[in-house]
Structure 1
Amino acid sequence: MAALRDFCAKHLGAGLADRLVGLARPGFALTDAAPGQAAGHSRFGGRAVLEPGTPWPTCEGLPLSLLAVLDTDALAPWLGDLLPPGTGLLNFFHLDTESEQSDPAAWEVAQGFGVEAPEVGRVIAARSTHAVETGPPARSSIFAPVAWAAEPGFAFPDTWDHAWDTLHLGYEGSDYDAIEAFKDALRTELSPPGLLICEDMAFGRPIFPTGSSSVMSNGEDSNHYHHLLQLSSRYEWHLGGDGGWMHWSIPTQALRAGDFNKAIPTPDIW
């Protein structure tokens, strides 16, 4: 972070450096892990890892599908005090409407809510010392597991995110060229761990391939939320539509308190 601050001071002046660093958030690029290189139990797909007695999440009686698991015990050192100690495993669920395994009733249920509705997605934490692999109920999809390696770095807001406007840099967040030039310099001049460039990401800040930005369906300011997971469409699951990248976000206060009931899906889809 000290190297990042020096870089920002060099390119945009010492007066802006601290504010720019304040926009950067630590995160991880998630890639398919070689044997022995996985970040704990972090993976796409597979079975949920829940504490005994935890009910499987549903929407209108239809079970959600497990899409990913993040092992925060393996990620915590890079995240500082963002997570409460012992957060453990985060299970990410969503209503599967697009895969070949999708239940025929899922599409009708999803249309009644929309892909951004809290009811169609869920994040469930499980203490590592108590968690056990849990098979899905009938009508829930199960995807082939892909273990993830996690490369630390940091993420700035997406180019179109209105978070840039809060810095008063002399241009608005819609000034694509200015922000992209700053990011290009970051990519080429700052040694790893540097700017995250990835399709799948833990924490950090979301990327929007449709050229959009984070919008909360409840109308809240997205800057009061923290990004949890970005899941691209490169695996056997797909959100559908243009873009089709799933994100989950959570109010920053709830994240620091470990209240993952407040996490919501914030997808990038047209």
Structure 2
Amino acid sequence: MMSRVSFEEACARVRELCVEQLGEHVGTQVAALAKPGFGLRPVKPGITAAGIGRWGGSALLNPGTPWPEHDGVPLSLFAVLDVDALGSWLGDERPPDGLLNIFLFDPDIKRGHVLEGSPLLDLDDPRCCRIIPADPALAIEQAAPAPASIHAPEPFYAVPVVTLPSMRGVSYDPILDTVDYGGETEDSLYYRSAPGWLASDRLGDAWLEFCEREQGLYKYEDVFFSPDQAFGWPHLENSFTQLKEPYRHLITIGHHDLGDGGYVHFILPPKAFRVGDYEQAVALFEGF
């Protein structure tokens, strides 16, 4: 497992796979896109949680921090990410804050949410999500006000992994289009479709097999897919117009019941990620 090696050693194994499937010229470029991340899994007996990180429960906010709202309706707390507890695996890829609260617009009718006259859920509206940082030394628990949904708290542990841009056929991550394919896509089906399809077609299946076998990432547990992940590149099933520009992935949450197998990615621009400007965060929904 990747947790037993350094990030550099893990990247060397990823590079070997990329070169084997894509050749030296293309493979080294794709391997250079690798980013560190963490697969998030429910805590099991004998396994230590990732600090105070958890799905659901109460928010951990600095005193005086207002609960986030969308058109007067409080958002729901979906996760708390304890960045400080993740150690050095992220290197320069970590955000500046030690504790992050992940909110999403998810009001509960049983807690008094009135559908008539309430704001419509526009999944592309950035106000539907919010990332609020907190100081671990100052943060205090705050329960969700009605009608925000309440999700039972469940701690998770974090498995260090190496990630590449998602390779899902025609729905691959557009960052793969930026690779120099050295003429291989010219006058070919790859070029007429999109250049990045070459990497997706030749590496995609092998990469997913590698992730499941070596990292326990993107793996089906029982009959349910487990996409929960912090940082790195997200595993995408769909194409998103928001990804035509560079972005950074903060967290993917699928552990809660988000619909018929749905899950959500939280992303933001690279500069905003580096300086902790979470107001620019956007939620990308899958399976809704």
**Alignment correspondent of 2:73:** 62
**Alignment correspondent of 1:231:** 253
1:47 aligned to which of 27, 43, 58: 58
**Alignment correspondent of 2:91:** 80
Instruction: Tell me: CA distance 1:107–1:8, structure 2 relative to 1, closer, same or farther (3 Å).
Output: farther
Instruction: Tell me: CA distance 1:260–1:108, structure 2 relative to 1, closer, same or farther (3 Å).
Output: same
1:203 corresponds to which letter in structure 2?
F
1:59 corresponds to which letter in structure 2?
H
**Alignment correspondent of 1:173:** 196
Q: Is the Cα–Cα contact under 8 Å of residues 153 and 196 in structure 1 kept in the other structure?
A: no
**Alignment correspondent of 1:138:** 146
**Alignment correspondent of 1:162:** 174
How far 1:116 sits from its partner (Å)? 2.4
Where 1:93 maps in the other structure, the secondary structure is strand
1:73 corresponds to which letter in structure 2?
D
1:151 corresponds to which letter in structure 2?
V
**Alignment correspondent of 1:13:** 23
**Alignment correspondent of 2:187:** none
1:178 corresponds to which letter in structure 2?
R
Q: Is the Cα–Cα contact under 8 Å of residues 59 and 80 in structure 2 kept in the other structure?
A: yes
How far 1:104 sits from its partner (Å)? 3.0
Give the count of matched residue pairs: 255
Q: Is the Cα–Cα contact under 8 Å of residues 113 and 147 in structure 2 kept in the other structure?
A: no
1:214 aligned to which of 231, 234, 240: 240
**Alignment correspondent of 2:275:** 257
1:213 corresponds to which letter in structure 2?
S
Q: Is the Cα–Cα contact under 8 Å of residues 59 and 77 in structure 2 kept in the other structure?
A: yes
Shifted more, 155-164 versus 119-128: the winner is 155-164
Q: Is the Cα–Cα contact under 8 Å of residues 231 and 251 in structure 2 kept in the other structure?
A: yes
How far 1:17 sits from its partner (Å)? 3.8
Q: Is the Cα–Cα contact under 8 Å of residues 83 and 257 in structure 1 kept in the other structure?
A: no
Deviations 1:195-239 (A, max 9, x none): 65442111122223xx412332xxxx444111111111x43x31x
Cα root mean square deviation, aligned: 2.6
Which is greater in Rg? Answer: 2
How far 1:37 sits from its partner (Å)? 1.2
Q: Partners in 1 of 2:30 and 2:19 — Cα distance? A: 9
Q: Is the Cα–Cα contact under 8 Å of residues 26 and 180 in structure 2 kept in the other structure?
A: no
How far 1:68 sits from its partner (Å)? 0.6
Shifted more, 35-44 versus 56-65: the winner is 35-44
TM-score by length of 1: 0.83
**Alignment correspondent of 2:266:** 248
Unaligned runs of 5+ in 2: 1-10, 185-189, 220-225
**Alignment correspondent of 2:48:** 37
Q: Partners in 2 of 1:107 and 1:76 — Cα distance? A: 47
How far 1:255 sits from its partner (Å)? 0.8
**Alignment correspondent of 2:284:** 266
How far 1:44 sits from its partner (Å)? 0.6
TM-score by length of 2: 0.78
Q: Is the Cα–Cα contact under 8 Å of residues 267 and 282 in structure 2 kept in the other structure?
A: yes
Q: Partners in 2 of 1:182 and 1:21 — Cα distance? A: 13
> Which residues of 2 match residues 174-193 of structure 1 at below 5 A?
174=197, 177-184=201-208, 186-187=210-211, 192=214
Instruction: Tell me: CA distance 1:181–1:265, structure 2 relative to 1, closer, same or farther (3 Å).
Output: closer
Q: Partners in 2 of 1:107 and 1:34 — Cα distance? A: 42
Q: Partners in 1 of 2:36 and 2:218 — Cα distance? A: 9
Instruction: Tell me: CA distance 1:101–1:123, structure 2 relative to 1, closer, same or farther (3 Å).
Output: farther
Deviations 1:153-173 (A, max 9, x none): 122222222222222443433
1:32 corresponds to which letter in structure 2?
P
Deviations 1:111-150 (A, max 9, x none): 2x50221111100011111111112223222110111111
**Alignment correspondent of 1:153:** 161
Where 1:224 maps in the other structure, the secondary structure is coil
How far 1:109 sits from its partner (Å)? 3.8
How far 1:15 sits from its partner (Å)? 2.7
